[in-house]
Structure 1
Amino acid sequence: MQQNQPVGVDKQFLAAPVKSAVDKFQLLPEFLKVRGLVKQHLDSFNYFVKTGIKKIVRANDRIVASKHPSIYLRFKDVRIGEPSIMVDGSPEKITPHTCRLSDQTYTAPILVNIEYIQGGPGQMAKVEKNDVVIGRMPIMLRSCCCVLYGKDEAELAKLGECPLDPGGYFIIKGTEKVMLMQEQLSKNRIIIDTDKKGNITASVTSSTEAIKSKTVVVMEKEKIWLQLNQFPKKVPIMIVMKAMGMESDQEVVQMLGRDPRYSSLLLPSIEECAKNGVYTKEQALEYLESKVKKSMFASDSFEREGRAYSVLRDVFLANVPVHQNNFRPKCVYVAVMIRRMMDAILNKDTMDDKDYVGNKRLELSGQLVSLLFEDLFKTMISEVKMYVDKFLEKNNKTNRFDFSHYVTRDFITSGLERTLSTGNFDIKRFKMHRKGMTQVYYVLNNFTFHHLHILLEI
């Protein structure tokens, strides 16, 4: 028996696509009532302060002295406190309206729980501290960290705020600033394209909490090469495969597919590998070790395990994790990249279009602030490590060494405030050089509502 349905409800009519432009514009007011203009920015920033910042700190949670590995500092947890300002050395709660009137920045402290070794190499003791301030984070209005979050109209009126104000912007030195959305190519996705010389390339921009890198596999003069920043010159891809444990050429050919055209296209690369006298995993790692760039910022694990091995595990295709030294997933991913390159060589229609919207993503406020904080946090860790190493080199036992004194700095605070105030994102670590990323809020707000008014009149 069929279930009783409400009388007068036409399900097919309700599920039918909206074809007319006039009908579509009638949906716009309802969309604004439910979603609003800035909900995507608020959701993005809320994800960052609840989850994103914790992942960044967890991926970079240790500072270890170079010559004394037993002396370390570890970040155990991180959270964003309540918006406040420092008055005579003590925090005082603040509202957005007060910041506008007094030309202050609406920020909240970044609080971390730390565990560290206190004392010099001769006398050491483990110490734990909670709610240590490492910087101050500009807070987006109406986000989960804002004092306006969840307030009704009467409470908003007491705080000097308009109930119709959607939020989604920052207050920097008394000025309301909004971050503009940025259109970027998708991260962690294979893109088949051509380089300046017309060679077919397969590139992946890897993005994780620990590291961000770009891997390019290119076919040049019938041979397949790997281009990575850690290698000053391109290296044969077959040597990379052998270094990851895939020593059998036949296995690589079988992973590409049964089509004999794939094996014929791969043959020059196999010959290039044999030409360099590389047949085993050890020989491949030794070859790559001589080609890898020597960095002054390399970690202790790079030197202990070998720079080439560490680059392949942590930097090369960073979006494919290596668990228990199992490189098999990375080998499969490289085989997919090579096969898609060969498909593009055999059929030009399989090339990717960078302008196609499916290959793009919109970066919102949360992602942009996350990138900025990650760069500043990693730079702070490097500076703390440098200062600690200098102090321990002097080996002055009369001074009692306290790791936590080097962490409490204003580096993160000034970096976030300066970037959001000027709108100039200049992050060398991620090769990000953009200007005009932030705009004064009321100008953009008037522009947006003016155009919405025109749309609703159509």
Structure 2
Amino acid sequence: MVGSVACNLHGMTDEERTAHGEDPLDPGGYFIVNGTERVLMTLEDLASNKIMTEYTERYNERIYVAKVFSQYRGYRALVVVERNRKNLLEVTFPSVAGHLRFVDMMRALGMTCDADVVRAVSTDEEILTFMMQNLEESECETVECGVMYVGKKLAPNQTRDYQRKRAEFVLDNYLLPHLNYLMPRIVNEEDEECMKIVHSVRLAKAHFLGRMAEACFDLVLNRRRIDDKDHYANKRLKLAGDLMEDLFRISLNRLTRDVKYQLERASMRHRDLSIATAVRADVLTERLLHPLATGNWVGGRTGVSQLLDRIDHMSVLSHLRRVISPLSRSQPHFEARDLHPTQWGRICPSETPEGPNCGLVKNFAQMVEISKGVQSDEEIIKMLYGMGVERIGVEI
């Protein structure tokens, strides 16, 4: 990226830039690919790992939903807890067809006592009434029974051992993956310390599901409103660094697979191994340059990389500060296109194109600042404990 720490222009004074034939007023922030200037668009999306509530209709009945987009290392999974018309909670997440009973899911994650399940949700009297109905409908009393319930949903007509292993694998990898940051890469069932960490992560997932269930019940009891998807507190921006991180992750995986293939191929043909033949230099480079040159990004997104608009200096600044929404241009999306009060000071209220892109392609305000996280999580944790936040009973 021009102007970054890795750029030759970094740290130069205006006089030095002028001596090298560069414009000292050029803002940088774009890439030079095959001799053309390409700028990566900022992508706007819903916040990950945040519980959001909404209504939905099914068979002319209102369904109350709490959902979260759980994201970890590029993998994004939608986990949903909903209350059906019988006041029963159901859980859905990737790789599982259909709905799973909430209480049986809590059993599978390590909560054997009914009191623990209730406390993980809420101790409010009105919510306790709903939870009693869910406990009565539950068919599992032990952790093993809960795991087998999930396993039968995942792999029907298979052996019990396979169903158990498949259920544990899915629960550890596809259910709320953002809580897997402490999960060991290789799970050894004979290692007590390893299994202790695995069980603590599963209990943390059970408590998070309980928090989602509480949000769902609060919506039923009119204690909270549905979350506004257009509120900018519920949005996150993917800048050039995040986009390049996604691209590099996929490209590096392709490179490792190619290295493995080349090594297996050389071994089969009994050839001498060499770095030049095993690690092809063009694989990683081509995987990085092609999306930058065409704009076709990983995940099926198009138009992420665009040719920099050089009509004048104002158009350059405008193009570098553009924000694109992932919503379809062919759908109305009236609320998403409208100007939201929380965009004040963040998004320019007047600079947006006409036609189908109106309101979906926006630009940053002139004095906007983008936060990039915190330096230390420990300070935030100390601050939360100082405000009265209590531990959930499991060390994670």
Give the TM interval when normalised to the shorter protein. 0.5 to 0.7
Larger Rg: 1
Aligned to 1:168: 29
Residues 136-170 of structure 1: per-residue CA shift (max 9 Å, x gap): xxxx1010111111112233234321111110001
Pairing partner for 2:78 from 190, 214, 227: 214
> How far off is 1:286 after superposition?
2.0
Residues 247-268 of structure 1: per-residue CA shift (max 9 Å, x gap): 1122211232222221222334
For residues 185 and 170 of structure 1, do their structure 2 counterparts lie closer, same or farther at Cα, with a shift above 3 Å needed? Answer: same
Aligned to 2:295: 423
8 Å contact kept, 2:121–2:207:
no
The amino acid of 1:200's aligned partner reads: Y
The amino acid of 2:29's aligned partner reads: G
Pairing partner for 1:328 from 190, 203, 217: 203
Aligned to 1:128: none
Aligned to 1:134: none
More strand, by proportion: 1
> How far off is 1:404 after superposition?
8.3
Per the alignment, in what secondary structure is the counterpart of residue 202 of structure 1? strand
> How far off is 1:381 after superposition?
3.4
8 Å contact kept, 1:202–1:218:
yes
Aligned to 1:113: none
Per the alignment, in what secondary structure is the counterpart of residue 162 of structure 1? coil
Aligned to 1:261: 126
Aligned to 1:103: none
Kindly indicate whether residue 249 of structure 2 is the aligned counterpart of residue 374 of structure 1.
yes
Residues 70-110 of structure 1: per-residue CA shift (max 9 Å, x gap): xxxxxxxxxxxxxxxxxxxxxxxxxxxxxxxxxxxxxxxxx
Pairing partner for 2:236 from 355, 358, 361: 361
In the TM superposition, what are the counterparts of 1:226-241 in structure 2 within 5 Å?
Answer: 226-241=91-106
> How far off is 1:405 after superposition?
4.7
Aligned counterparts of 2:32 and 2:229: Cα–Cα separation in 1: 35
For residues 293 and 400 of structure 1, do their structure 2 counterparts lie closer, same or farther at Cα, with a shift above 3 Å needed? Answer: farther
Aligned to 2:9: 148
For residues 290 and 142 of structure 1, do their structure 2 counterparts lie closer, same or farther at Cα, with a shift above 3 Å needed? Answer: same
The amino acid of 2:178's aligned partner reads: N
Q: Any unmatched runs of 5+ in structure 2?
A: 157-161, 184-196, 320-347, 352-364, 367-396
Aligned-pair Cα RMSD in Å: 3.4
> How far off is 1:443 after superposition?
4.1
Q: Any unmatched runs of 5+ in structure 1?
A: 1-139, 295-302, 428-432
> How far off is 1:229 after superposition?
1.4
> How far off is 1:176 after superposition?
0.6
8 Å contact kept, 1:253–1:262:
no
8 Å contact kept, 2:152–2:163:
no
Aligned to 1:345: 220
Pairing partner for 2:144 from 282, 302, 308: 282
8 Å contact kept, 1:212–1:315:
no
8 Å contact kept, 1:388–1:403:
no
For residues 387 and 374 of structure 1, do their structure 2 counterparts lie closer, same or farther at Cα, with a shift above 3 Å needed? Answer: same
Percent identical across equivalent pairs? 27
For residues 289 and 407 of structure 1, do their structure 2 counterparts lie closer, same or farther at Cα, with a shift above 3 Å needed? Answer: farther
> How far off is 1:214 after superposition?
2.4
Aligned counterparts of 1:182 and 1:411: Cα–Cα separation in 2: 27
For residues 377 and 223 of structure 1, do their structure 2 counterparts lie closer, same or farther at Cα, with a shift above 3 Å needed? Answer: farther
For residues 259 and 362 of structure 1, do their structure 2 counterparts lie closer, same or farther at Cα, with a shift above 3 Å needed? Answer: same
